[in-house]
Amino acid sequence: MSHLSFFKTHRTWEDWLGMALGVLIVLSPWFPTQAPHEMVDAERSFIVLNTFTVGLLVFGLAQLEYVALQRWEEVAEILLGLWLIVSPYIFGYWEEGMLRLWHTTLGGLVVLLAGFQLWQDWDLNEQELARHGQ
């Protein structure tokens, strides 16, 4: 029974992990890739801007969770993770194998972490949410 309580409690290290994922998302356009061959600078700038925005929002929401936990923050992180997963198909860089892989993986991790945190916090009332991190 004590193992279940470990999984049912939202811990602060999960928020730190969310912040780290946000930083990795921001840096992901500069991770090693398979030499972007036909990517035009304008396309690349949209990709970098999208990635920077999503990473910054994930970082900010995770930081906000650390300070003042609310359920909407986790829902927003899930939506951002899903957006990052579909971004290669929307912006047309699905053929850039490694960058697509990075964004799909990082987006999936954001969705999993935020979904797990939302599950942990689902039955908490406002006072219990306010005590997070204390």
Torsion angle, alpha carbons of 38, 83, 55, 104, to 10: -60
Under the banding of pLDDT at 50, 70 and 90, the label for residue 129 is low
CA distances from 23 to 45, 57, 119, 128 (A): 18, 10, 24, 29
How high is the pLDDT of residue 29? 87
Say whether pLDDT at 1 is over 70.
no
Residue with more model confidence, 131 or 74:
74
pTM for the model stands at: 0.83
Cα dihedral 57, 60, 62, 67 sign: negative
How high is the pLDDT of residue 31? 78
Mean pLDDT of 96-121: 90
How high is the pLDDT of residue 114? 93
The two tokens of residue 63 are 């930081």
Residue with more model confidence, 119 or 86:
86
Distance of alpha carbon 74 from alpha carbon 115, whole angstroms: 7
Mean pLDDT over all residues of the chain?
82
Distance of alpha carbon 107 from alpha carbon 132, whole angstroms: 25
